[in-house]
Amino acid sequence: MANNAPDLPPVADDDTGVMGLTQVDPSPVEETPLEYKEGYFPPAQAARATTLGLGNHGPAYYLTRIQKYSSYAFTVFAAFHITNTSLVPLLTRSVPEANRYLLLTRPYYQSALAEPLLVALPLAAHIASGIALRFYRRRQALKRYGAETHTDRKTIPWPSLSGTSALGYALVPLAGFHVWTTRILPPYMHGDNSMISLSYISHGFALHPLVSFGGFVALVGVGTWHFVWGWARWLGYAPSQASPTESRRHLTKKRRWYAINGVSLALTGLWLAGSLGIVGRGGKTGGWIGREFDELYNAMVRW
Ligand code: HEM
């Protein structure tokens, strides 16, 4: 067909190629085009800091840090606790002897300042930040996928629950029951906590062996597994944190999984060796203290 056929648009100039594109000469490299005189790349955003110098991060950043640093405080308490309830009984092989160490260190972690700072507040912050993070990520997902109706929301899944988080939630009722029986009920019924010692736990094992055995195995097992997996995560050793560019990533993940579960198993075994093997077999306490213990355990059964 002829180039200047009446039904085709007129050709603009002679440089136009076969595709209707105009060929231009290459721009010399040393000559920056006028429109880019200010700099070819957009200016880098200066790091902005807030008045407190905290930087400009989103809620997920702060919530993750609250979740992380609050667990440091609880770790200090957990170290005291495994020492008093397992290592010292294992070393002394005697409940009355181990009680002396427990009563010696207890004023430090049960003092008016230490207990809220080391246990209660960090725990509340740890659990609340985890839940808040979950709701925040859910909201982000709904926004990202543009959920508008109730049906849309139902089709978008909630953030997945990791094994560590599931252990954390399982730990809440177990630790809650433990706190209720050792820290809340005794002062509530007797005005103070002074008579509570390892002998109180031994007494419980003698009265209710199955519940005590099952309860402590669950509490120590779930707790220790959560702490060890949690620490592996903070230190960057969780299997999911293996570098994606590593050539043998699969092997690394597998090794990490076995190592973390191995440490959890060893620590649980150590804790239970002292708690069940020594304290659990300590037997009943006689005299008026034994009668007070009976009263407390009866109250628990009645509740
Ligand atoms: C040594 C102490 C602790 C460490 C290192 C630790 C570590 C962690 C880590 C890393 C997570 C996040 C898991 C994930 O998102 O995959 C987590 C979540 C959680 N932790 Fe702990 N934790 C500790 C103590 C506790 C205790 C004593 C409790 C309860 C009594 C607890 C309850 C929870 C709960 C409920 C969650 C789930 C939050 C969520 O993801 O929705 N943690 N912990």
Give the number of other CB atoms < 10 A from CB of residue 200. Answer: 22
Return the DSSP state at 159.
P
- Which pLDDT score, from 0 to 100, does residue 79 have? 95
For residue 238, CA distances in Å to 13, 132, 141, 231 come to: 65, 22, 24, 9
Of 70-74, 235-239, 274-278, 299-303, which range is least confident? 299-303
pLDDT at 27 over 90: no
Average pLDDT, the chain: 87
pLDDT at 21 over 60: yes
pLDDT at 57 over 70: yes
pLDDT at 195 over 90: no
Please tell me the distance between residue 169's alpha carbon and the centre of ligand 1 in angstroms: 8
Please tell me the distance between residue 268's alpha carbon and the centre of ligand 1 in angstroms: 17
Tokens 């990791």 belong to 162
pLDDT at 279 over 70: yes
Q: Which residues contact 85 (CB under 8 A, 6 or more apart)?
A: 102, 198, 201, 271, 274, 275, 279
Would you state the torsion angle of the CA atoms of residues 259, 265, 268, 272, taken in this order, to the nearest 10 degrees? Answer: -150
pLDDT at 106 over 90: no
Question: Hey, which of 84-88, 109-113, 151-155 has the most confident mean pLDDT?
Answer: 84-88
Q: In this structure, are residues 119 and 77 in contact, taking their beta carbons and an 8 Å threshold?
A: yes
Of 64, 65, 67, 118, the residue with max ligand 1 atoms within 8 A of its CB, to mutate for a pocket test, comes to 67
Please tell me the distance between residue 52's alpha carbon and the centre of ligand 1 in angstroms: 28
Q: Express each pLDDT in 58-93 by its tens digit.
A: 999 999 999 999 999 999 999 999 999 999 999 999
Of 136, 164, 180, 271, the residue with max ligand 1 atoms within 8 A of its CB, to mutate for a pocket test, comes to 164
User: Which amino acids bring their CB within 6 angstroms of ligand 1?
Assistant: 67, 71, 74-75, 78, 123, 126-127, 130-131, 134, 162, 164-165, 168-169, 171-172, 175, 226-227, 230-231, 233
Closest CA to 162 of 247, 97, 238, 74: 238
Of 38-47, 72-81, 125-134, which range is least confident? 38-47
Tokens 């010696």 belong to 104
